[in-house]
Amino acid sequence: MSWYRNTVWFVKGLREYTRGGYESASKHFNPADVEVDVTGRSFLVTGANSGIGKATAKEIARRGGTVHLVCRNKDRAEVAKEEIVTETGNQNIFLHIVDISNPKEIWKFAEKFQNEHKLNVLINNAGCMVNTRELTEDGLEKNFATNTLGTYIMTTALVPLLEKAADARVITVSSGGMLVQKLNISDLQSGNGPFDGTMVYAQNKRQQVVLTEQWAKAHRNIHFSVMHPGWADTPAVRSAMPDFYERMKNSLRTEAQGADTVLWLAVSAEATKLPSGLFFQDRQPVPTHLPLAYTHSPPEDEEKLMEVLEEFSQKFKSVSSR
């Protein structure tokens, strides 16, 4: 069925995920939804030094929010911070250098952050698509370490802080590519068979959808959502998918268009009127499975994913605290 899923997803993408799809959908947006003042509210954005993360951070800063930029590369992060401060006039922009593929670093950061700051909104945007099987210093496959385990640890480590906040939200930036994948818990680190970075990434993005649905059930005081930004012209797309970029570059969304739904989910009152745990595209909840694609998973597989990630998480937490 993979050829069917891939074909349907690509046709759907040409229609909905491109710049034309955004322009069509945006005709129905209410501009007032995001014309809000969020002064006094605290936002944490991972992967905030470029692309959709930086575009989101900049728009939140324009609206008066306190923004914590969590980035891996210190030099690029400092440039991004300076750009955001200069363009928005907002001085409440803080920088934290954390490698989201390193679970020990995330735990250390989260424990320190909880002691020093408040948090209303967590935006899990950091991600990677590594096209060969690479292992981190902890022996973790890099895509899994960043996209799935890193997102899991960052979120669960900060849930206690979010539980204390008014109108707490968690938004995870996923991908429509997850529509071509059924949750596979038998090979989370892609060690069996040939390695396809694009499909590994899509599997990670399916895992993020499952995480969001599970968190929504477990933490009723926090509004969880996951979203697809469409096909946007970002540095990550150019470097990780050069062939796709060359083929589609004239119809890709801008970074701001890709970030629009993240911003809407982060600041608008309308977003939290919808149930927690949904998957969004262009400010609307959309299905998480294609028709006839057979990508639904049994509940026990979804529960097993959470169990395995929690085991990893606790192992690295105990190491980080030594």
Rounded percentage of the chain residues whose pLDDT exceeds 90: 85
In a domain, 320, yes or no: no
Q: Check: CB of residue 51 under 8 Å from CB of residue 255.
A: yes
The secondary element (H helix, E strand) that includes residue 95 is strand 93-97
Mean of all residue pLDDT scores within the chain = 95
Q: Which token pair is 89?
A: 């006039």
Give the CATH number, domain containing residue 257.
3.40.50.720
Q: Check: CB of residue 52 under 8 Å from CB of residue 234.
A: yes
Encoded amino acid at 216, one letter? A
CA-to-CA separations, 254 to 234, 257, 312, in angstroms, rounded: 8, 5, 36
Q: Please tell me the pTM assigned to this model.
A: 0.96
Q: Check: CB of residue 124 under 8 Å from CB of residue 148.
A: no
- Whether 152 is a known active-site residue: answer no
Whether the pLDDT of residue 319 is over 80: the answer is no
- Rounded mean pLDDT, 231-246: 86
* Predicted pLDDT at 313: 97
Whether the pLDDT of residue 322 is over 80: the answer is no
The per-residue pLDDT for range 128-170, each reduced to its tens digit, is 999 999 999 999 999 999 999 999 999 999 999 999 999 999 9
In a domain, 54, yes or no: yes
pLDDT band, very low/low/confident/very high, at 321 (cuts 50, 70, 90): low
Long-range contacts of 14-20 (CB under 8 A, 24+ apart): 16/230, 16/281, 16/282, 17/176, 17/228, 17/230, 17/231, 17/253, 18/230, 18/231, 18/248, 18/251, 18/252, 18/253, 19/251, 19/252, 19/253, 19/254, 19/257, 20/251
Q: Look up the domain containing 293 and give its range.
A: 3-315
* Predicted pLDDT at 4: 74
The per-residue pLDDT for range 50-73, each reduced to its tens digit, is 999 999 999 999 999 999 999 999
In a domain, 321, yes or no: no
Task: Indicate the number of domains in the chain.
Answer: 1
Q: Check: CB of residue 271 under 8 Å from CB of residue 38.
A: no
Nearest-5° Cα angle at 7, 6 to 10: 85
Catalytic residue among 22, 152, 201, 294: 201
